[in-house]
Amino acid sequence: MVRGPGKTGRDAAEPQEDNPAGEASPPAAGSGGRLSVEEAARLLDLPEKTVERWTRQGRIPFSRDGRNNVFDRDELLAWARHGGLIKPSPGMPPGHAVKAGKDGETLAAAIARGGVFHGVAVRDRAEALTEAVRLAPVPESFREEFLRLVTRREEVASTGIGRGAAAPHPVCPVCPPANPSAVTVVFLKDPVDFGADDGIPVFVLFLMLCAKSAAHLRLLSQLAVMLSDSDFVAILRTQPQADTLIAEIARREASLPGPAGPPGSDK
């Protein structure tokens, strides 16, 4: 079985075969059972097409079993709760439903490390990726290779996550394990086509540099939840200064389930 996201094979997924019964139920909680796309969509109360799209974009944890994409029920629930897609069940022990990870990283802190840049002029997606990598806190000796990895990931499937935002990242975690994650925010002077599913040109990039897939998924899920709020997208379109953007994201993170909070609150 091939694990994803973070593997190039995840976007080669073929459509699932129809379930003859059509009424399969997800395994009982805590069983560690695997779910089909249909079952995962039912569990999250989402359209199947949304789950399939998120799988292609690397926004949701899944595995490959032969020709099929499958989802671990417990892993999927933890991911969804941490991203704010569903709330912890009443009576669930504190800290069980959502766990930010031993690193305690937050999206706000990662952006503070990665930097925020405004009015970056580019002509197309390739130039946008090149500029984002140039601005990111990457050692010069590694910058060319990092760009290659980011570009390779983009060739697999667009990292445009909708509503005018993109979250480019390499095909696999590349930070040294001891380094905290960094997210470089790049506001473009003029939007460019990223081939996003919603067709909206991208005006802001969140270039993600994470040491571990779990941290990448966690930060990306938080960003996806925030982008579902039209008010947050409107704030992004004003191209706020770094301190304003970081404070707004920290405020929103504090309202999500789990221990994530403002920068400096990490345990």
Residues annotated as catalytic (active site), given as ranges: 169
CA atoms within 13 A on the CB side of 33: 13
Residues 6 or more apart whose Cβ sits within 8 Å of residue 247: 108
For tokens 């909708």, the residue is 162
Question: What six digits make up the tokens of 173?
Answer: 């975690």
Q: What is the DSSP string of the chain?
A: -EEESSSGGGGGPPPPPP-SS----PPPTTS--EE-HHHHHHHHT--HHHHHHHHHHT-S-EEEETTEEEEEHHHHHHHHHHTTSSPPPTTPPTTTS----TT---HHHHHHHH-EEEEE--SSHHHHHHHHHHHSS--HHHHHHHHHHHHHHHHHS--EEETTEE----SS--S-TTSPPEEEEEEEEEEE----TT-PPEEEEEEEE-SSHHHHHHHHHHHHHHHTSHHHHHHHHT---HHHHHHHHHHHHHTSSSS--STT---
Q: Is there a contact between 143 and 133 (Cβ–Cβ < 8 Å)?
A: yes
